[in-house]
Structure 1
Amino acid sequence: MNELIARVKGMVLAPAQEWRAIQREPIELVPVFTRYVMILAAIPAIASMLLLMAFGLFFTAISTAIVSYILSLVAVVVTAKIVEILAPKFGGPTDADAALKLAAFAPTVAWVAGGAIIVPILGSLVALIGAFYSLYILYLGVPIVMRVPQEKALTFTLAVIGVAIVVQIAVRLLTGIFL
Protein backbone atom coordinates (compact mmCIF):
# COMPACT_ATOMS: atom_id res chain seq x y z
CA MET A 1 0.00 0.00 0.00
CA ASN A 2 2.92 2.32 0.70
CA GLU A 3 4.15 1.82 -2.88
CA LEU A 4 0.74 2.77 -4.24
CA ILE A 5 0.59 5.93 -2.12
CA ALA A 6 4.14 6.88 -3.11
CA ARG A 7 3.33 6.37 -6.79
CA VAL A 8 0.15 8.46 -6.56
CA LYS A 9 2.03 11.20 -4.73
CA GLY A 10 4.75 11.13 -7.39
CA MET A 11 2.26 11.31 -10.25
CA VAL A 12 0.52 14.29 -8.63
CA LEU A 13 3.51 16.31 -7.43
CA ALA A 14 6.37 15.37 -9.80
CA PRO A 15 4.97 13.47 -12.80
CA ALA A 16 8.02 13.86 -15.09
CA GLN A 17 10.31 12.50 -12.37
CA GLU A 18 7.83 9.68 -11.63
CA TRP A 19 7.66 8.77 -15.34
CA ARG A 20 11.44 8.40 -15.39
CA ALA A 21 11.22 5.98 -12.45
CA ILE A 22 8.36 4.08 -14.12
CA GLN A 23 10.29 3.87 -17.38
CA ARG A 24 13.12 2.00 -15.63
CA GLU A 25 10.85 -0.47 -13.81
CA PRO A 26 9.73 -3.83 -15.17
CA ILE A 27 5.97 -4.25 -15.50
CA GLU A 28 3.60 -7.20 -15.53
CA LEU A 29 -0.09 -6.98 -16.36
CA VAL A 30 -1.55 -8.85 -13.39
CA PRO A 31 0.44 -7.15 -10.61
CA VAL A 32 -0.07 -3.64 -12.04
CA PHE A 33 -3.79 -4.33 -12.29
CA THR A 34 -4.28 -5.93 -8.89
CA ARG A 35 -2.00 -3.61 -6.93
CA TYR A 36 -2.68 -0.32 -8.70
CA VAL A 37 -5.29 -0.02 -11.45
CA MET A 38 -8.07 -2.02 -9.77
CA ILE A 39 -7.65 -0.12 -6.51
CA LEU A 40 -7.56 3.39 -7.98
CA ALA A 41 -10.25 2.77 -10.61
CA ALA A 42 -12.59 1.78 -7.78
CA ILE A 43 -12.43 5.26 -6.21
CA PRO A 44 -14.70 7.13 -8.66
CA ALA A 45 -16.96 4.07 -9.07
CA ILE A 46 -17.55 3.86 -5.31
CA ALA A 47 -17.96 7.63 -4.98
CA SER A 48 -20.60 7.74 -7.72
CA MET A 49 -22.36 4.75 -6.17
CA LEU A 50 -22.52 6.47 -2.77
CA LEU A 51 -23.77 9.69 -4.35
CA LEU A 52 -26.55 7.90 -6.24
CA MET A 53 -27.47 5.91 -3.14
CA ALA A 54 -27.83 9.17 -1.22
CA PHE A 55 -30.58 10.05 -3.67
CA GLY A 56 -32.26 6.67 -3.14
CA LEU A 57 -31.23 5.17 -6.48
CA PHE A 58 -29.91 1.89 -5.11
CA PHE A 59 -30.15 -0.38 -8.16
CA THR A 60 -28.93 2.37 -10.47
CA ALA A 61 -26.07 3.12 -8.09
CA ILE A 62 -24.84 -0.45 -7.96
CA SER A 63 -25.21 -1.17 -11.67
CA THR A 64 -23.60 2.15 -12.65
CA ALA A 65 -20.67 1.54 -10.30
CA ILE A 66 -20.06 -1.96 -11.64
CA VAL A 67 -20.29 -0.91 -15.29
CA SER A 68 -18.12 2.18 -14.86
CA TYR A 69 -15.52 0.20 -12.90
CA ILE A 70 -15.32 -2.53 -15.54
CA LEU A 71 -15.14 0.07 -18.32
CA SER A 72 -12.27 1.81 -16.50
CA LEU A 73 -10.33 -1.45 -16.37
CA VAL A 74 -11.05 -2.23 -20.00
CA ALA A 75 -10.06 1.32 -20.96
CA VAL A 76 -6.55 0.75 -19.58
CA VAL A 77 -6.06 -2.33 -21.75
CA VAL A 78 -7.58 -0.68 -24.85
CA THR A 79 -5.53 2.48 -24.34
CA ALA A 80 -2.36 0.40 -23.97
CA LYS A 81 -3.09 -1.32 -27.27
CA ILE A 82 -3.82 2.02 -28.97
CA VAL A 83 -0.55 3.47 -27.66
CA GLU A 84 1.38 0.39 -28.76
CA ILE A 85 -0.07 0.56 -32.30
CA LEU A 86 0.32 4.33 -32.73
CA ALA A 87 3.83 4.74 -31.29
CA PRO A 88 5.76 3.63 -34.41
CA LYS A 89 3.79 6.10 -36.55
CA PHE A 90 5.22 8.89 -34.36
CA GLY A 91 8.81 7.71 -34.15
CA GLY A 92 8.50 5.51 -31.07
CA PRO A 93 9.05 1.75 -30.82
CA THR A 94 6.36 -0.92 -30.66
CA ASP A 95 6.64 -1.69 -26.95
CA ALA A 96 3.71 -3.39 -25.22
CA ASP A 97 5.24 -3.00 -21.75
CA ALA A 98 5.86 0.73 -22.18
CA ALA A 99 2.33 1.16 -23.57
CA LEU A 100 0.90 -0.62 -20.54
CA LYS A 101 2.90 1.64 -18.22
CA LEU A 102 1.55 4.75 -19.93
CA ALA A 103 -2.05 3.49 -19.92
CA ALA A 104 -1.95 2.22 -16.33
CA PHE A 105 -0.32 5.22 -14.66
CA ALA A 106 -1.52 8.23 -16.69
CA PRO A 107 -5.11 8.15 -15.29
CA THR A 108 -3.88 8.17 -11.68
CA VAL A 109 -4.95 11.74 -10.87
CA ALA A 110 -8.30 11.32 -12.67
CA TRP A 111 -9.09 8.26 -10.56
CA VAL A 112 -8.09 9.90 -7.28
CA ALA A 113 -9.87 13.17 -8.11
CA GLY A 114 -12.88 11.12 -9.20
CA GLY A 115 -13.49 10.37 -5.56
CA ALA A 116 -14.58 13.98 -5.15
CA ILE A 117 -17.73 13.41 -7.20
CA ILE A 118 -19.41 12.36 -4.00
CA VAL A 119 -19.74 16.10 -3.33
CA PRO A 120 -22.35 17.45 -5.76
CA ILE A 121 -21.24 20.16 -8.23
CA LEU A 122 -17.89 21.05 -6.60
CA GLY A 123 -16.79 17.42 -6.74
CA SER A 124 -17.52 17.24 -10.44
CA LEU A 125 -15.30 20.26 -10.98
CA VAL A 126 -12.48 18.63 -9.01
CA ALA A 127 -12.92 15.41 -11.01
CA LEU A 128 -12.81 17.36 -14.29
CA ILE A 129 -9.63 19.15 -13.26
CA GLY A 130 -8.13 15.78 -12.30
CA ALA A 131 -9.06 14.37 -15.71
CA PHE A 132 -7.39 17.27 -17.52
CA TYR A 133 -4.30 16.96 -15.33
CA SER A 134 -4.17 13.25 -16.22
CA LEU A 135 -4.11 14.21 -19.90
CA TYR A 136 -1.16 16.48 -19.16
CA ILE A 137 0.53 13.63 -17.29
CA LEU A 138 -0.06 11.41 -20.32
CA TYR A 139 1.65 14.02 -22.50
CA LEU A 140 4.62 14.18 -20.10
CA GLY A 141 4.97 10.40 -20.15
CA VAL A 142 4.91 9.96 -23.92
CA PRO A 143 8.53 10.96 -24.67
CA ILE A 144 9.87 9.36 -21.50
CA VAL A 145 8.08 6.01 -21.49
CA MET A 146 7.21 5.52 -25.18
CA ARG A 147 10.37 7.23 -26.45
CA VAL A 148 8.39 9.28 -28.96
CA PRO A 149 10.44 12.32 -30.00
CA GLN A 150 9.51 15.43 -27.98
CA GLU A 151 8.49 17.34 -31.12
CA LYS A 152 5.90 14.63 -31.88
CA ALA A 153 4.73 14.08 -28.28
CA LEU A 154 1.80 16.51 -28.44
CA THR A 155 0.52 15.13 -31.74
CA PHE A 156 0.90 11.57 -30.45
CA THR A 157 -0.91 12.43 -27.22
CA LEU A 158 -3.77 14.06 -29.14
CA ALA A 159 -4.01 11.04 -31.44
CA VAL A 160 -4.19 8.66 -28.47
CA ILE A 161 -6.84 10.85 -26.81
CA GLY A 162 -8.85 11.07 -30.03
CA VAL A 163 -8.84 7.32 -30.64
CA ALA A 164 -9.59 6.62 -26.97
CA ILE A 165 -12.58 8.99 -27.08
CA VAL A 166 -13.97 7.22 -30.13
CA VAL A 167 -13.49 3.83 -28.44
CA GLN A 168 -15.18 5.11 -25.24
CA ILE A 169 -18.15 6.44 -27.21
CA ALA A 170 -18.50 3.15 -29.05
CA VAL A 171 -18.30 1.16 -25.82
CA ARG A 172 -20.84 3.41 -24.09
CA LEU A 173 -23.23 3.07 -27.03
CA LEU A 174 -22.88 -0.70 -27.02
CA THR A 175 -23.31 -1.03 -23.26
CA GLY A 176 -26.26 1.38 -23.35
CA ILE A 177 -28.05 -1.10 -25.54
CA PHE A 178 -27.60 -3.88 -22.99
CA LEU A 179 -28.34 -1.98 -19.78
Structure 2
Amino acid sequence: MNELIARVRGMILAPAQEWRTIQREPVEFVPLFTRYVMILAALPAIAGMLLLMFFGLFFTAIASAIVGYILSLVGVIVTAKIVEILAPKFGGPADADAALKLAAFAPTAAWVAGAAIIIPILGGLVALVGAIYALYTLYLGVPIVMRVPQEKALTFTLAVIAVAIVVNLAVRLLTGIFI
Protein backbone atom coordinates (compact mmCIF):
# COMPACT_ATOMS: atom_id res chain seq x y z
CA MET A 1 0.00 0.00 0.00
CA ASN A 2 2.90 2.35 0.71
CA GLU A 3 4.17 1.82 -2.84
CA LEU A 4 0.75 2.73 -4.25
CA ILE A 5 0.56 5.90 -2.18
CA ALA A 6 4.12 6.89 -3.11
CA ARG A 7 3.40 6.36 -6.82
CA VAL A 8 0.16 8.36 -6.66
CA ARG A 9 1.92 11.15 -4.78
CA GLY A 10 4.71 11.17 -7.37
CA MET A 11 2.32 11.22 -10.33
CA ILE A 12 0.39 14.13 -8.85
CA LEU A 13 3.15 16.24 -7.26
CA ALA A 14 6.20 15.51 -9.47
CA PRO A 15 5.00 13.73 -12.62
CA ALA A 16 8.09 14.34 -14.80
CA GLN A 17 10.36 12.85 -12.14
CA GLU A 18 7.92 9.97 -11.55
CA TRP A 19 7.81 9.19 -15.29
CA ARG A 20 11.61 8.87 -15.32
CA THR A 21 11.36 6.39 -12.44
CA ILE A 22 8.56 4.47 -14.18
CA GLN A 23 10.51 4.36 -17.44
CA ARG A 24 13.39 2.52 -15.73
CA GLU A 25 11.20 -0.01 -13.91
CA PRO A 26 10.28 -3.39 -15.33
CA VAL A 27 6.56 -3.95 -15.70
CA GLU A 28 4.42 -7.03 -15.28
CA PHE A 29 0.80 -6.88 -16.36
CA VAL A 30 -0.86 -8.71 -13.45
CA PRO A 31 0.90 -6.89 -10.57
CA LEU A 32 0.42 -3.52 -12.30
CA PHE A 33 -3.28 -4.18 -12.71
CA THR A 34 -3.99 -5.75 -9.33
CA ARG A 35 -1.86 -3.41 -7.23
CA TYR A 36 -2.46 -0.13 -9.06
CA VAL A 37 -5.00 0.13 -11.87
CA MET A 38 -7.76 -1.94 -10.25
CA ILE A 39 -7.46 -0.04 -6.96
CA LEU A 40 -7.41 3.46 -8.40
CA ALA A 41 -10.05 2.81 -11.07
CA ALA A 42 -12.36 1.70 -8.26
CA LEU A 43 -12.28 5.13 -6.58
CA PRO A 44 -14.62 6.98 -8.97
CA ALA A 45 -16.77 3.85 -9.42
CA ILE A 46 -17.34 3.55 -5.67
CA ALA A 47 -17.89 7.29 -5.23
CA GLY A 48 -20.45 7.34 -8.04
CA MET A 49 -22.17 4.28 -6.59
CA LEU A 50 -22.44 5.89 -3.15
CA LEU A 51 -23.81 9.11 -4.64
CA LEU A 52 -26.49 7.24 -6.60
CA MET A 53 -27.36 5.17 -3.53
CA PHE A 54 -27.81 8.39 -1.55
CA PHE A 55 -30.51 9.33 -4.04
CA GLY A 56 -32.16 5.91 -3.66
CA LEU A 57 -31.04 4.43 -6.98
CA PHE A 58 -29.65 1.22 -5.51
CA PHE A 59 -29.83 -1.13 -8.50
CA THR A 60 -28.64 1.56 -10.91
CA ALA A 61 -25.81 2.45 -8.53
CA ILE A 62 -24.50 -1.09 -8.25
CA ALA A 63 -24.92 -1.91 -11.94
CA SER A 64 -23.32 1.37 -13.02
CA ALA A 65 -20.36 0.90 -10.69
CA ILE A 66 -19.67 -2.68 -11.79
CA VAL A 67 -20.06 -2.11 -15.52
CA GLY A 68 -18.22 1.24 -15.47
CA TYR A 69 -15.36 -0.23 -13.46
CA ILE A 70 -14.91 -3.23 -15.74
CA LEU A 71 -15.08 -1.11 -18.86
CA SER A 72 -12.56 1.35 -17.39
CA LEU A 73 -10.12 -1.52 -16.89
CA VAL A 74 -10.70 -2.67 -20.46
CA GLY A 75 -10.20 0.94 -21.57
CA VAL A 76 -6.68 0.95 -20.10
CA ILE A 77 -5.80 -2.22 -22.02
CA VAL A 78 -7.27 -0.95 -25.29
CA THR A 79 -5.55 2.42 -24.91
CA ALA A 80 -2.21 0.71 -24.23
CA LYS A 81 -2.54 -1.37 -27.39
CA ILE A 82 -3.41 1.67 -29.49
CA VAL A 83 -0.48 3.62 -28.00
CA GLU A 84 1.81 0.73 -28.89
CA ILE A 85 0.54 0.77 -32.48
CA LEU A 86 0.76 4.58 -32.81
CA ALA A 87 4.28 5.03 -31.40
CA PRO A 88 6.23 3.95 -34.52
CA LYS A 89 4.28 6.45 -36.62
CA PHE A 90 5.75 9.20 -34.41
CA GLY A 91 9.33 7.93 -34.22
CA GLY A 92 9.01 5.83 -31.07
CA PRO A 93 9.34 2.07 -30.71
CA ALA A 94 6.37 -0.31 -30.66
CA ASP A 95 6.99 -1.16 -27.01
CA ALA A 96 4.06 -2.97 -25.35
CA ASP A 97 5.50 -2.55 -21.85
CA ALA A 98 6.03 1.20 -22.27
CA ALA A 99 2.55 1.61 -23.75
CA LEU A 100 1.07 -0.25 -20.78
CA LYS A 101 2.95 2.00 -18.37
CA LEU A 102 1.69 5.12 -20.12
CA ALA A 103 -1.92 3.91 -20.24
CA ALA A 104 -1.88 2.68 -16.64
CA PHE A 105 -0.17 5.59 -14.90
CA ALA A 106 -1.34 8.62 -16.91
CA PRO A 107 -4.93 8.54 -15.56
CA THR A 108 -3.79 8.55 -11.92
CA ALA A 109 -4.89 12.12 -11.19
CA ALA A 110 -8.22 11.57 -12.93
CA TRP A 111 -8.95 8.46 -10.87
CA VAL A 112 -8.01 10.10 -7.59
CA ALA A 113 -9.94 13.29 -8.34
CA GLY A 114 -12.82 11.15 -9.62
CA ALA A 115 -13.44 10.05 -6.05
CA ALA A 116 -14.71 13.58 -5.42
CA ILE A 117 -17.83 12.96 -7.54
CA ILE A 118 -19.47 11.80 -4.35
CA ILE A 119 -19.93 15.53 -3.63
CA PRO A 120 -22.63 16.92 -5.93
CA ILE A 121 -21.52 19.71 -8.32
CA LEU A 122 -18.22 20.58 -6.61
CA GLY A 123 -17.04 16.98 -7.00
CA GLY A 124 -17.67 17.13 -10.73
CA LEU A 125 -15.45 20.19 -10.99
CA VAL A 126 -12.70 18.50 -8.98
CA ALA A 127 -12.97 15.43 -11.23
CA LEU A 128 -12.72 17.66 -14.33
CA VAL A 129 -9.58 19.35 -12.99
CA GLY A 130 -8.11 15.91 -12.24
CA ALA A 131 -8.86 14.75 -15.78
CA ILE A 132 -7.20 17.81 -17.30
CA TYR A 133 -4.17 17.33 -15.07
CA ALA A 134 -4.02 13.67 -16.14
CA LEU A 135 -3.74 14.87 -19.75
CA TYR A 136 -0.82 17.08 -18.73
CA THR A 137 0.91 14.15 -17.01
CA LEU A 138 0.32 12.11 -20.17
CA TYR A 139 2.09 14.81 -22.20
CA LEU A 140 5.02 14.74 -19.79
CA GLY A 141 5.24 10.94 -19.98
CA VAL A 142 5.14 10.52 -23.77
CA PRO A 143 8.74 11.46 -24.58
CA ILE A 144 10.10 9.77 -21.45
CA VAL A 145 8.23 6.47 -21.48
CA MET A 146 7.41 6.01 -25.17
CA ARG A 147 10.71 7.54 -26.33
CA VAL A 148 8.97 9.61 -28.98
CA PRO A 149 11.26 12.44 -30.19
CA GLN A 150 10.52 15.70 -28.39
CA GLU A 151 9.57 17.47 -31.63
CA LYS A 152 6.82 14.88 -32.20
CA ALA A 153 5.75 14.52 -28.56
CA LEU A 154 2.93 17.07 -28.73
CA THR A 155 1.43 15.55 -31.89
CA PHE A 156 1.72 12.05 -30.43
CA THR A 157 0.15 13.23 -27.16
CA LEU A 158 -2.76 14.78 -29.06
CA ALA A 159 -3.22 11.54 -31.00
CA VAL A 160 -3.19 9.54 -27.75
CA ILE A 161 -5.66 11.99 -26.20
CA ALA A 162 -7.94 11.57 -29.22
CA VAL A 163 -7.72 7.80 -28.83
CA ALA A 164 -8.35 8.06 -25.08
CA ILE A 165 -11.42 10.22 -25.72
CA VAL A 166 -12.77 7.71 -28.23
CA VAL A 167 -12.08 4.81 -25.83
CA ASN A 168 -13.71 6.65 -22.93
CA LEU A 169 -16.73 7.60 -25.01
CA ALA A 170 -17.08 3.97 -26.03
CA VAL A 171 -16.82 2.94 -22.37
CA ARG A 172 -19.51 5.44 -21.39
CA LEU A 173 -21.76 4.38 -24.27
CA LEU A 174 -21.40 0.73 -23.33
CA THR A 175 -22.04 1.58 -19.70
CA GLY A 176 -25.25 3.33 -20.69
CA ILE A 177 -26.34 0.43 -22.86
CA PHE A 178 -25.88 -2.15 -20.10
CA ILE A 179 -27.73 -0.20 -17.43
TM-score range, shorter chain: over 0.9
**Aligned equivalent of 2:18:** 18
**Aligned equivalent of 2:161:** 161
**Aligned equivalent of 1:79:** 79
Please tell me whether residue 6 in structure 1 is matched to residue 6 in structure 2: yes
Cα deviation, 1:36-79, whole Å, max 9, x if unaligned, reads 00000000000000000000000010011011111110111011
State the TM-score, normalizing by the size of structure 2.
Answer: 0.96
Q: Secondary structure at the match of 1:27?
A: coil
Q: Partners in 2 of 1:117 and 1:176 — Cα distance?
A: 18
Cα deviation, 1:5-31, whole Å, max 9, x if unaligned, reads 000000010000000000000001000
Q: Which moved more, 1:155-164 or 1:91-100?
A: 155-164
Superposition deviation, residue 165 in structure 1: 1.9
Contact 2:41/2:73 (CA < 8 Å) preserved in 1?
Answer: yes
Matched residues, number? 179
Unaligned runs of 5+ in 1: none
**Aligned equivalent of 2:149:** 149
CA-atom RMSD in angstroms: 1.1
Q: Partners in 2 of 1:150 and 1:32 — Cα distance?
A: 27
State the TM-score, normalizing by the size of structure 1.
Answer: 0.96
2:144 is aligned with what amino acid? I
Unaligned runs of 5+ in 2: none
Q: Partners in 2 of 1:10 and 1:167 — Cα distance?
A: 26
Q: Secondary structure at the match of 2:8?
A: helix
Q: Partners in 2 of 1:171 and 1:128 — Cα distance?
A: 17
**Aligned equivalent of 2:42:** 42
Please tell me whether residue 32 in structure 1 is matched to residue 32 in structure 2: yes
